[in-house]
Chains A and B, each alone.
Chain A
Amino acid sequence: QKEVEQNSGPLSVPEGAIASLNCTYSDRGSQSFFWYRQYSGKSPELIMSIYSNGDKEDGRFTAQLNKASQYVSLLIRDSQPSDSATYLCAVRLGGKLIFGQGTELSVKP
């Protein structure tokens, strides 16, 4: 079992819809959770961090963490074509950041 798992996608949503990206992790000792966005040919960009159970909102982005279920998600409201990118889930474990393989999101105009 991989330490951090994401659906590879592609996930396709129409412009204006809500995009839902999911991530599960295997180690209950994981402490911090992050979502990065990576455009093709570019480096990852931090968009959200979450440390405790519940929801954290920042603009159109909402991160949700459920430690009991070892599950973290990212919701993107009012999706725009400019949101089309690969979204990477990262989990801090033992001083290291472990990344999932990423979910490719495509927002269609």
Chain B
Amino acid sequence: KAGVTQTPRYLIKTRGQQVTLSCSPISGHRSVSWYQQTPGQGLQFLFEYFSETQRNKGNFPGRFSGRQFSNSRSEMNVSTLELGDSALYLCASSPAGQSSYEQYFGPGTRLTVT
């Protein structure tokens, strides 16, 4: 099976702009979660989508949003970028259902905000 894929892999944006990141889960996986990883804060949960619905949300401002499509692919959007949004953004997919919570990560998108 192909793994989780994320596009783009690298992105440079200017403060104030917005960005959209894409994630395709492992085939058959219906849950997609997004994380932000920085050296200072580590891996922090952003949100999880399951069957096109946001199932869980972390403690991030409303500038961070996401959605999931009927084919389980997901996108996350960050509006009004700030310098502190520079990070590795990771997507992880999981098989359907709450009982199966093993998550498999994609390669990530490295976002740099200047």
A32 in the interface, Cβ–Cβ < 8 Å? yes
Kindly report which residue of chain A lies nearest to residue B46, judged by CB atoms.
A96
Tell me whether B42 and A102 are in contact (CB under 8 A): yes
User: Is B98 a contact partner of A95 (Cβ separation < 8 A)?
Assistant: yes
Chain B residues numbered 33-49 whose CB sits less than 8 Å from any CB in chain A:
33, 35, 42-45, 48
Chain B interface residue number, banded: 20 to 34
Q: Which of B33, B101, B105, B106 has most chain A Cβ within 10 Å?
A: B101
Chain A facing B: main interface SS: strand
Q: How far is the CA of A64 from the CA of B94 in the complex (A)?
A: 23
Bound CA span A56–B71, Å: 35
Give A94 to B45 CA distance when docked, in angstroms.
12
Which residues does chain A contribute within 8 Å of B44, judged by CB atoms? 99
- Are B107 and A42 in contact, CB atoms less than 8 angstroms apart? yes
CA distance A95 to B42 in the complex (A): 19
The answer to whether A101 and B42 touch (CB under 8 A), given A43-B90, A45-B105, A46-B104, is: yes
Which of B33, B35, B102 counts the most chain A CB atoms within 10 A? Answer: B102
Query: How far is B44's CA from A16's CA once the two chains are assembled, in angstroms?
Result: 34
Given A88-B43, A95-B48, A44:B102 Cβ within 8 A: no
In the complex where A88-B43, A96-B58 touch, is A49 in contact with B102 (Cβ < 8 A)? Answer: yes
Q: CB of B55 within 8 A of chain A? A: yes
List 29 A–B pairs whose Cβ atoms lie within 8 Å, in order of A's numbering: A34-B102, A36-B105, A42-B107, A43-B88, A43-B90, A43-B105, A43-B107, A44-B43, A44-B105, A46-B102, A46-B103, A49-B102, A95-B48, A95-B56, A95-B98, A96-B48, A96-B56, A96-B58, A97-B33, A97-B45, A97-B92, A97-B101, A97-B103, A98-B45, A99-B35, A99-B43, A99-B44, A100-B42, A102-B42
Top-4 shortest CB links A-B: A99-B43, A95-B56, A43-B105, A101-B42
Supply 15 further A-B pairs (C-beta < 8 A) apart from A34-B102, A96-B45. Answer: A43-B90, A43-B107, A43-B108, A44-B90, A45-B105, A46-B102, A46-B104, A46-B105, A90-B43, A92-B101, A96-B48, A96-B56, A97-B92, A97-B103, A99-B35
